[in-house]
Amino acid sequence: MCINREVVVHFEITKTRVRVIMLKPQLNQSHSLLNVLPFIHGDSANHSSSFAYAPTILRQHTSFAKKSNATGARSTSIAGNIKAVSIPFLTKETTVKCVITILPTIGSTIDGISNAGLSLGGVTDVVSDLRGRSFLLELVSNDLDSNGNQKTLRAYARYEALDFDVSIYTYKCNFDVPEDFGKIGAVLVENEYSKKMFFKNIVLDNGVTFTCESWVHSKNDNPDKRIFFADKSYLPSETPNGLKSLREQDMESLRGNGEGERKSFERIYDYDVYNDLGAPDEELSLARPVLGGEKHPYPRRCRTGRKMSSIDPLTETRTALPFYIPADEDFSEIKQATFGAKTLYTALHAVVPLLESVFADTTEGFPLFTDIDMLFNQGVNVPAPDDGILSVLPTLLKKTDDTKNAVIQFETPETMDRDRFSWLSDEEFCRQMLAGLNPCSIQLVSEWPLMSKLDPEIYGPAESAITKEIVEKEIKDFMTLDEALAQKKLFMLDYHDLLLPYVNKLRELKTTTLYGSRTLMFLSPDGTLKPIAIELTHPPYDGKPAWKHVYTPAQVATDLWLWRLAKAHVLAHDAGYHQLISHWLRTHCATEPYIIATNRHLSQMHPLSRLLLPHCRYTMQINSLARLILINAGGIVEKIFFPDEYSMQLSSDVYDQLWRFDHEALPADLISRGMAVEDPTAPHGLKLAIEDYPYANDGLLIYDAIKQWATSYVNHYYPQANLVESDEELQAWWNDIRTVGHGDKKDEPWWPQLKTQDDLIGIVSTIMWVTAGQHSAVNFGQYDLGGYIPYRPTVARTNMPNEDPTDEEWQSFIDRPEDALLKCFPSQLQGIQMLVLYDVLSSHSPDEEYIGGNTNATWEAEPTIKAAFEEFHGRLNELEAIIDSRNTDPNLKNRCGAGLVPYQLFKPYSESGVTGRGVANSISI
């Protein structure tokens, strides 16, 4: 075909690429430009396609190429009368190498490319590997092109190898990046495999890193590409133009629309009420009220969208398999850190039924104290489970010579190992309130007489039966009641009003009992607490009046045994409150809305998202497992703790009456309980009501370190207060937490405002404290501090012997008071189930992530943040020696003395297993 123009092409050779300039039109040119330059199609060595440079350019060039191939000389028509034109897609380019790191699922191995594909997803994935098309990556520039469109470059990554030393897959590709492409700010990823893959990071050799730590779904499940942003953090107002739409698109993809049942590969964060704890479809007795809403206020959980019950349309149906959580919250396939979740599931799902099969009478108590000791000396014979269960619980389940049986044998708890008789001590009973499993319930007595706020028409007289005369009889060697009140020497554990509404309900269950309780203590001159009195109460029932009795420390035999039984009831109340409130509600449950809101409203490139991420990991997974087998109707919590089937309803009551976000930071919590007052001259700015208060003293070290780290971080990214108030993502995040995640409390006046740096520092310090410090304090000591049943029973099953006894019952108590105490303790089955639960919950995983232990790439990318984190890490390292020194100081009698378990729960680091120390970054178990 003849044309009237031709192109003279001048080749300008550079070190990296060829630049082509059309100098002037020429006549009688009969060949296509593309025939002259075949290399513009790109090479075959996994380089990026030049056509992918920008959407607008891509469309023009594609059209140009089609015309060239079809009509030859018409390809030159774009030149027109132009004398010299630079072809933009042939400008100078630099090859950028890309390495993708993928974490293999636990147990998978690779030996060559074909095995990689088979391990990952089967034959189809082998084909993807052999074609060099495992992942499609598309780099995105921070800048838009001249037409306002994104600049992108695409390349397929190809499998390279498995590094057996660090257990990672490696994939590689190259990008030919034009010199005017601008800074690379994002990457879009399409997973060509048939299964989701866990991306650890994507690293370019030009200094750009994408820290992913995320699952990427298969394109077969979802055609949308995953978006990852480079490690540099941006506030919304600072977002580069080329990334603004991607930033919003990425967050929008996580919010969902509140409809449909969620699928395992999805990453949707949405809210729902706790309407899946009951199982009325299985049995009507397993129906439970919905938690969340006006009747039973409660935090929100992650929505799963399962169908509703045919029996109760307000209850969501349950499944035998773990419930849905967003894919990025599920680490079970790639992290040993979730061994705790898997172990917990195995222990409760498989071992508990084994135990139940052993006991013909599940309510039978321990006949003798030596039978309790035998749990640690000889163990319990059970039918042999399969080898898979044995491998998950190697420290608990052991094979025997008899292949039909196995033994569940427990390690001796630290309290029993150091002093087997410490549970008899009144001082140790009180010391638990300061350095035990639940050191966050004790409060100062500031008013007298002690009064109930409940309706006296329903619950009986409001005034406590603990009188001035009773108190002064116990403290007469020290001071009067008025002096003790004035000098802040009286403290109390108060479960009276909280439990009294449940007393009659629980007594109807026949297998247990309950009282409302108050425990009064006196701070002696040596800094230790002495018990003064325990008041046990039940309201009117069956036409009988309210019953109250006050027990005091005694030496006379009968009164002494009554005192021991009263202490057992109080300890059971405290154990249940600890598990349901201090542990579950205040850490696990209250934190889930923070995690949901963070993913819904803070972009992954938002600096606050990157600050909070280490404190959010694993929590939603362990919470979903708790709903499945722990806190559900008929679950282990109902079986072994005193509130029984009313356990979660009780936690809703506490949330309604007592939970306040502004009291969740340690200093505010201490002040709210009267355990401290502000004092600028005192360490940490607080003067403690009890100077030797191990939980408070060590916890404040952790809290202050957290707050200093948060202060440095926040002030770096928000140098002016107006940046806080104008940050739309930040404000949406806080609004979501207050009005949706904790929406039943949205109208409370105590919610902190979010207008200044100090406001933000206080909020994030509280969240970081709850997830790290507070959770560690109430979780990792459970086995050592709660595992010996006489030291801390989880339920008191019998009424006090002096509550309306028959003559025969009273004589039985007089003859064998020890038997009465053993019958009051948990049953054999309950005690063993408790030990299994405590053992698993108290264990650190082999790759536990501890507070301040490891930095991350996004912090390393900012020198100021890197330096602040190193300071944070250094302060935490110093705490080890400080705590060790305190535990050996003989002047600190609440943590140092013969047979005392040293208080180590706030020592930042630990080896794996049950250690009684170590502050994990997040609520991982």
Q: What is the DSSP string of 631-678?
A: SSTTSHHHHHSTTGGGHHHHHHHHHHHT--GGG-SHHHHHHHTTSEEE
Is-catalytic flag, 629? no
**Cβ neighbours for 548, distance < 8 A, ≥ 6 positions apart:** 460, 461, 465, 535, 536, 537
Contacts (Cβ under 8 Å, ≥6 apart) of 227: 186, 187, 188, 189, 246, 249, 250, 253
Give the tokens for residue 764: 């994030």
Amino acid at 286: L
Please report, for the chain, how many H helices and E strands are present, in that order.
Answer: 33, 25
Are 801 and 544 spatial neighbours (Cβ–Cβ below 8 Å)?
A: no
**Predicted local confidence at residue 415, as pLDDT:** 96
Residue 11 has a CB neighbour count (10 Å cut-off) of 11
- Tokens linked to 460: 């009986």
Peptide bond into 449 cis (omega under 30): yes
Determine whether 767 is exposed, middle or buried from the number of CB atoms within 10 Å of its CB (0-12, 13-18, 19+).
buried
| CB contact at 8 A, 239 and 185 | no
Contact (CB, 8 A) for 325 and 621: yes
Hey, is 763 helix, strand or coil? Answer: helix
Q: Which residues pair with 95 in a beta bridge?
A: 176
Token digits of residue 921? 């970054």
Q: Which residues pair with 11 in a beta bridge?
A: 20
The helix/strand/coil state of 478 is coil
Give the active site residue among 191, 779, 887, 921: 779
Q: How many CB atoms lie within 10 A of CB 62?
A: 11
Q: Based on the residue annotation, tell me whether 779 is a catalytic residue of this protein.
A: yes
Angle between helices 607-616 and 694-717 (to 10 degrees): 150
Active site residue 925: yes
Active site residue 496: no
Q: What is the CA radius of gyration of the chain?
A: 33
**Is 115 annotated in the active site?**
no
Q: Look at the chain and count its residues.
A: 925
The sign of the CA dihedral 715, 710, 679, 888 is: negative
Contacting residues for 415 by C-beta, under 8 A, at least 6 apart: 422, 423, 784, 785, 787, 788, 791, 901
At 511 the three-state DSSP class reads coil
pLDDT beneath 50: ranges in the chain = 1-45, 49-89, 107-119, 123-124, 127, 130, 337-338
Q: Catalytic: which of 47, 578, 588, 663?
A: 588
pLDDT of residue 383: 82
| Enclosing H/E stretch for 520 | strand 516-523
Quote the CA–CA distance of 228 and 305 in Å, as a whole number: 27
Question: How far is it, in rounded angstroms, from Cα 737 to Cα 658?
Answer: 18
* Beta-bridge partner residues of 169: 102, 162
- Tell me what pLDDT residue 125 has: 59
User: What pLDDT was estimated at residue 29?
Assistant: 36
Q: Which residues pair with 170 in a beta bridge?
A: 101, 161
H or E segment and range at residue 819: helix 817-824
**Alpha helix (H) residue ranges in 476-618:** 481-486, 496-507, 557-577, 590-601, 607-616
* Type of residue at 912: S
SS3 for 269? coil
What is d(CA 43, CA 176) in angstroms, rounded to the nearest whole number? 10
Residue linked to tokens 């790639």: 334
Question: How many of the other CB atoms lie within 10 Å of CB of 261?
Answer: 11
Is this prediction's pTM over 0.85? yes
Question: SS3 of 623, please?
Answer: helix
pLDDT of residue 405: 80
**Is the distance from CB of 38 to CB of 90 less than 8 angstroms?**
no
Half-sphere exposure of 67 (CA within 13 A, CB side): 13
The answer for residues whose C-beta is within 8 angstroms of residue 42's C-beta and 6 or more apart is 48, 49, 50, 51, 176
Q: Which one of 583, 601, 684, 742 is the catalytic residue?
A: 583
Task: Read off the tokens for 304.
Answer: 């799963």
Strands 843-844 and 529-538: unpaired
